[in-house]
Amino acid sequence: MKYAARRLLHSLFLLAGVSLLSFLFADLAPGDFFSEMRLDPGVTSATVDALRARHGLDRPLPVRYAAWLGSMARGEFGYSLAYNTAVGPLLRQRIPGTLLLTGCATLLAWLMAIPLGIWNAARRGTWSDSITKASLSIFLSIPDILLAVILLALAVETGWLPAGGMHAPGSESLAAEDRFRDTLRHLVIPVAVLVLGMLPVLVRHVRASVAECLDSPFALAARAHGIPRRRLLFRHILPAALNPLITLFGFSLGTLLSASLLVEVLVGWPGLGPLFLEAIMARDFALVLGVVMSSTTLLIAGNLIADLLLYRADPRIQTS
Amino acid sequence: MKLSLTLAFLAVLHALVVLAAWVAPYHYAEQHRDYPFAPPARVHFTDAAHRFLLRPFVYGLTQDSPGGDYREDRSRLYPIDFFVRGRLFGVGAPGVLFLWGSDGYGRDVFSRVLYGGQVSLLTGLVAAFLSLSLGLLCGTLAGFHGGWVDGLLMRGGELFLALPWLYLLLGVRAFLPLHISPAQAFFLLVAIIGTVGWVRPARMVRGVVLSARERGFVLAARGFGASPGYLMRRHILPLTWSVLLTQATVLIPRYILAEVTLSFLGLGVGEPVPSWGNMLAEARQYHTLMAHAWMLAPGLATIPLLLGYLTLADILLERPSSADPAPPIERPSGALPLGSREG
């Protein structure tokens, strides 16, 4: 419990640090939402100054940071100048999309990586191991962009799967079950791209971790006792090999969130990615900060979960 | 054996890209407005009478109607010349040679992929160099000095790791000017990608430096009165090379992908200078892609390059490294600690 509290506090410090750093960086950067207006001869610089003053952009940094913290406490996360509304509701619309996508991809990637990694580790040096390794490194070197573009083109050509988005037009009127199936069909391509990008890395780590355990004395002893191979792999080796993988789980979440940004933009998935890109193009600082903070929170939450899982799985942490 | 093969493969790819001005039949901006979206050229080795020719040739291209399909015009025949006009190969004036087809402006995709590789590859290499230099600096400083410097650098680094990488990259890009010249965009990209990635190399270097401080020969040198600068130069930094080398092979492909991604999203190098990213952006439209599949060439071009680097990284990772701790040497009690030690 004390451990959990300490990790939580650490996470909060990280979040505060990230927000402070973003603010500092944005302050150093040239230009803001209104700087494009200055180029327009029809807009006097007095107007721009007045607009900046009205939105509080001319106040000193600590005051703006304090104001932002205050609006965060109210759940507004600042005011988006491009959308002319509070950032909070915009984020709350988009976070479930990203969460759904990365959640499904994480689950599927790990469900595939663990058996595949164990299988390869148990057959080290055989042709099936080499073939898996070779094909996975080829997948690793295909850029996500290419994969997504090709899958989308195939989807349109064959008509088997919807080509982008999250819902079919008019899906609001469908029954709950059909809506679920519709979303599931829309999930196939983005999740496939994410899983294919992530799987090679995961399989490699699972294989390495399991292989190391297979070489350890306890595995030899268990084999000598005549424990069946499958039981040995799943009941004895896997739990022992799990610790480095739990740490990897946190990392994999970060990678997937990054990849998800790109995939969301490519397939038009209503997640944080497209919102982020729009905010950048519009130079909407509050929205950029909001998206950065939400993605950071997602990642830190994932890492926190990994930390706590590791605490449960590895008694060595509890004593130190 | 495997190592030298991989290195040779990578060397050939790099040479092709570096020598783009000579290997590519056209300049990247050279337009042939009469030939938009021409398909990849069919290079013929046998003439109409099925006789084998030593010099391959292409036929002229005709279109039934503007925007229609291209046909080969068998009456016009253009032999491919080698070592002409300061380039490796090409065809005489009215003929065109689009090995991988042409884009909407009639620009040769093959040439543009080679030229585009210069931007993508150079971004990867220079940004990786920047990351590793920063990582080496911060890592040795943290590992050797210890104390509050170590704490500050490593806690600061955690802030960088707390963000998903691409969000961090785009977030930094967000606050910099959007409309800039290709050259400025290139330097901006290199600076962002390189700076944002300093943490992982720094952590690895710090680990090596920390373990190096405890090794027998370092302690011995210290005992003989070596200065910190000498220890650093002579004993500790050489141990970091293998880590830096391995990190380089991991970072370069990742940074090439980062450039491709940013340029693809319109936040990197823009027209008319080609990069693999902004070329792929043209292939994004479904109609372009279905009718002109060769527009995906820049994406396919990244695959052998990334595969080469990943294989190299694998080989280096599997090799026993000199930075691994030597057989433990009992540390004499009362030996002077190097710098201030961790708390």
Give pLDDT tens digits for A73-129: 887 777 777 787 888 888 888 898 899 999 999 999 999 999 899 888 888 888 888
Contact list, A142 vs chain B (CB under 8 Å): 303
Contact list, B116 vs chain A (CB under 8 Å): none
**Which of A14, A17, A29 shows the shortest C-beta gap to B176?**
A29
Instruction: Report the gap between the CA of A145 and the closest CA in chain B (Å).
Output: 8
| Residue with token string 């380039």 | B87
- Determine whether the interchain pair A277/B290 forms a contact, defined as Cβ–Cβ distance below 8 Å: no
Determine the average pLDDT of the residues in A232-261.
Answer: 85
Ramachandran bin of B67, using left for φ above 0, alpha for ψ from -120 to 50, beta for the remaining angles: left
Contact list, A158 vs chain B (CB under 8 Å): none
Q: How far apart (Å, rounded) are the C-alpha atoms in residues B102 and A295?
A: 40
Per-residue pLDDT of B96-145, as tens digits, reads: 778 788 887 878 888 888 888 888 899 999 999 999 999 999 998 898 88
- Determine whether the interchain pair B167/A30 forms a contact, defined as Cβ–Cβ distance below 8 Å: no
Give the torsion through C-alpha atoms of A259, A260, A262, A267, to 10 deg. Answer: 140
Q: How far apart (Å, rounded) are the C-alpha atoms in residues B64 and B158?
A: 62
For residue A277, the cross-strand partners are none
Q: How far apart (Å, rounded) are the C-alpha atoms in residues B234 and B206?
A: 17
Here the tokens at position B308 are 């080469």
- Determine whether the interchain pair A299/B165 forms a contact, defined as Cβ–Cβ distance below 8 Å: no
Q: Which residue out of A19, A141, A287 would a mutagenesis test of the B interface target, given it has the greatest number of B Cβ atoms within 10 Å?
A: A141
Positive or negative: CA dihedral B52, B58, B64, B69? positive
Q: Establish if B314 touches chain A: CB-CB under 8 angstroms.
A: yes
Q: Establish if B300 touches chain A: CB-CB under 8 angstroms.
A: yes
Q: How far apart (Å, rounded) are the C-alpha atoms in residues B116 and B335?
A: 56
* Cα angle value A270/B293/B50 (rounded, 5°): 170
User: Does the pLDDT value for residue A319 go beyond 70?
Assistant: no
Strand arrangement of the beta sheet that strand B87-91 belongs to: B44-46, B52-63, B70-84, B87-91
Of all residues in chain B, the percent with pLDDT exceeding 90 is 8
Determine the average pLDDT of the residues in B186-196.
Answer: 88
Measured in degrees and rounded to the nearest 5, phi and psi for residue A161 equal -130, 150
- Determine whether the interchain pair A261/B314 forms a contact, defined as Cβ–Cβ distance below 8 Å: no
How many CB atoms are closer than 10 A to CB A182? 17
Q: At what angle do helices B109-140 and B237-264 cross, to 10 degrees?
A: 140
The pairing of beta strand A85-86 with beta strand B44-46: unpaired
Q: State residue A38's pLDDT score.
A: 66
pLDDT classification of B231: cutoffs 50, 70, 90: confident
238-277 in chain B: CB under 8 A from chain A: 253, 257, 260-261, 264-267
DSSP code string of B153-218: HHHHHHHHHTS-HHHHHHHHHHTS-SS--HHHHHHHHHHHHHHHT-HHHHHHHHHHHHHHHTSHHH
Q: State residue B320's pLDDT score.
A: 63
Give the torsion through C-alpha atoms of B294, B296, B301, B304, to 10 deg. Answer: -110
| Residue with token string 């996360």 | A77
**Which of B165, B173, B307 shows the shortest C-beta gap to A254?**
B165
Cα separations (Å) of B44 from A205, B53, B163? Answer: 48, 9, 53
Q: State residue A42's pLDDT score.
A: 72
How many CB atoms are closer than 10 A to CB B322? 11
Q: State residue A170's pLDDT score.
A: 67
Per-residue pLDDT of A145-178, as tens digits, reads: 888 888 888 888 787 777 777 777 666 677 777 7
pLDDT classification of B326: cutoffs 50, 70, 90: very low
131-170 in chain A: CB under 8 A from chain B: 137-138, 140-143, 145-146, 149-150, 152-153, 156-157, 163
A109-112 contact pairs (CB < 8 A, 24+)? A109/A194, A109/A195, A109/A198, A109/A199, A109/A202, A109/A252, A109/A256, A110/A202, A110/A249, A110/A252, A112/A195, A112/A199, A112/A203
Between B102 and A295, residue with greater pLDDT: A295
Q: How far apart (Å, rounded) are the C-alpha atoms in residues B261 and B258?
A: 5
Domain spanning A98-272+299-318 has what CATH number? 1.10.3720.10
Minimum Cα–Cα distance from A292: chain B residue: B167
Q: State residue B335's pLDDT score.
A: 39
Q: State residue B329's pLDDT score.
A: 41
Instruction: Supply the mean pLDDT for chain B.
Output: 81
| Residue with token string 């355990």 | A213
Per-residue pLDDT of B35-47, as tens digits, reads: 777 778 777 777 7
Determine the average pLDDT of the residues in B178-195.
Answer: 84
**Which of B162, B172, B314 shows the shortest C-beta gap to A296?**
B162
218-247 in chain A: CB under 8 A from chain B: none
Q: Establish if A24 touches chain B: CB-CB under 8 angstroms.
A: no
Q: How far apart (Å, rounded) are the C-alpha atoms in residues A83 and A90?
A: 9
Here the tokens at position B111 are 């040439």
Q: Which residue out of A280, A287, A307 would a mutagenesis test of the B interface target, given it has the greatest number of B Cβ atoms within 10 Å?
A: A280
Contact list, B168 vs chain A (CB under 8 Å): 292
- Determine whether the interchain pair A146/B264 forms a contact, defined as Cβ–Cβ distance below 8 Å: no
Cα separations (Å) of B38 from A132, A308, A311, B34? Answer: 38, 58, 61, 9
Positive or negative: CA dihedral B120, A137, B157, A15? positive
User: Does the pLDDT value for residue B151 go beyond 60?
Assistant: yes
Comparing A144-148, B33-37, B217-221, B249-253, the range with the smallest average pLDDT is B33-37
The string over B286-312, giving b where at least 16 C-beta atoms fall within 10 Å of a residue's C-beta and e elsewhere, is: bebbeebebbbbbbebbeebbbbbbbb
Per-residue pLDDT of B267-308, as tens digits, reads: 888 777 888 888 888 877 767 777 777 888 888 888 999 989
User: Does the pLDDT value for residue A3 go beyond 60?
Assistant: yes
- In this prediction the pTM is 0.85
Q: State residue B105's pLDDT score.
A: 80
User: Does the pLDDT value for residue B154 go beyond 50?
Assistant: yes
